[in-house]
Structure 1
Amino acid sequence: MNSNAEQEYLKLKEQNEKHKERSKKNYYKNHEAELQKRAKLRQDEDYKLMMAKYRASEAGKKSARITCWKQGGVISDDYDALYNKWKTTTHCEACDVELIEGNKGENKKTLDHDHKTGAFRNIVCNSCNVKRGNDDRGVVRQTKAQYNENRKWKRLEQNFRLKWDLKHAFNRLKIN
């Protein structure tokens, strides 16, 4: 990156951080009573029990899984169909190894998606997902700190693109 582009990027980054902080303050100011009410509700034992039951239910598991995918950047037209495919897939679509449920092991079930576009590709074992991800990014190995730094810049770039797209969409509406 040349110095002018780097300076512009750092300037935009600083503006974005200030905007996020202002937005956060305004949100808390405008929703203070509601937030306090929810915080008090979360301390209620009946509510805690109800939420624990929900999280253990099939609907709660489905909701948590789809939320995780969305936060991870997966884009889909039909998350319900994607979840059904997730539930019914028993073998890796790349190497045909039997998949296991859970959070550990090379054969754990993983949703593979393109990190640039967010598009779902297929359900594969963790081993195939890591290999494909490294091939996509041209990464051989990176430390946790490097990974976190790369994710931070990617999120900033995504926020900038979203704001740019919204700005131009708004301008097109004003013209029409």
Structure 2
Amino acid sequence: MDASNDGLNAYAADDGIHESSSLDLSSMDAEQRAQLEEEWRLELTKTEEEIQTLRQVLSAKVRHAQELKRKLGITVWKEFQQDLGQGVKNIQESTAYQKTSEVVKIAGEKTTSVFGTLGGSVARKLGEVKNSNAFKSFEERVSSTVSNVKTRMGGSRSNSTNSFEDALNSTERRHSQTATPATTPTIPEEKPIS
């Protein structure tokens, strides 16, 4: 037996507490059983009185501690803040937190790297497309078509007999008759670049 059990057993023996497992009530007559039950009732009453006394002592100690805290300026809020601060400190010092924060840091670095590479790749591809002959030819045709439509539809609307469709067809006919080399589109001078 260890020392703490010895102390409990000594306390139990001093207070007359008996282990019920070693007691055989069936072998006792009614008088012995009644006497034992009376001892137990007295013991229960005494134990409940001791519990009540301990509660009163504990309550007085709690009030005294609260009064001392009030005098020292320690409020419930300050205690809560201190407990919370200590809890956060304990968490931050734990190995699980340190491992988790390291993993999050590495994941962030890898994500940044992936997005940086992806963004550079997309920008490079868009630059290649913009510099391709097919894009330049398309860009030139759109610019030329818009200019022609503006020119044909630019007069007063009441005098104009040309439709938008006629302007597009006319532009298409001109482009098919004269193949022009791919160049950068021209911007009309009367319209500022936005």
Q: Please state which band the TM-score falls in when normalised by the shorter chain.
A: under 0.3
Q: What TM-score does the superposition give when structure 2 sets the normalisation length?
A: 0.23
Higher strand share: 1
Greater relative contact order (Cα < 8 A, sep 6+): 2
The TM-score, its normalising length taken from structure 1, stands at 0.25
Higher helix share: 2
